[in-house]
Amino acid sequence: MTATDHALELVRAAAQAASDKLAEDVIAFDVSDQLVITDAFVLASASNDRQVKAIVEAVEDSLRELGAKPVRREGERDGRWVLMDYAEIVVHVQHEEERAFYALERLWRDCPLIELPESVTSTRRSS
């Protein structure tokens, strides 16, 4: 099973919105074979709490334009790791320190990466 076309559309829109707000290391995983609750994860980093919040707002605005509303949102008050659950996709916007500590990429590395537009991947830092 692979992520649905609609989920992929949401992933690309979320990734582009995050990139437009200067998110770093934006990547997406197709987790549909591993989880039944969602098709994809989008991960993005920010260097400070204010930028985390700006990225979250941009992602929400972008996905709202596509008719998607989060069914759950966690972590917004702290601004260190905000999780937005859209059922089909889950977007994680993390402060750089949380991203390094929790290393979600390592947990999901066996899942296929979802190809993102060049405009998103060109902002990716080399690790």
Identify the structural domains of the chain with CATH numbers, from first to last.
Answer: 5-117 (3.30.460.10)
Q: How far apart are CA 71 and CA 76, in angstroms?
A: 14
Q: Is the pLDDT of residue 96 over 90?
A: yes
The span from the CA of 76 to the CA of 53, in Å, is 7
The pairing of beta strand 24-30 with beta strand 40-46: antiparallel
pTM of the model as a whole: 0.92
**Alpha-carbon distances, residue 80 vs 42, 63, 120 (angstroms):** 16, 21, 22
At 61 the pLDDT is 98
16-46 pLDDT tens trace: 999 999 999 999 999 999 998 999 999 999 9
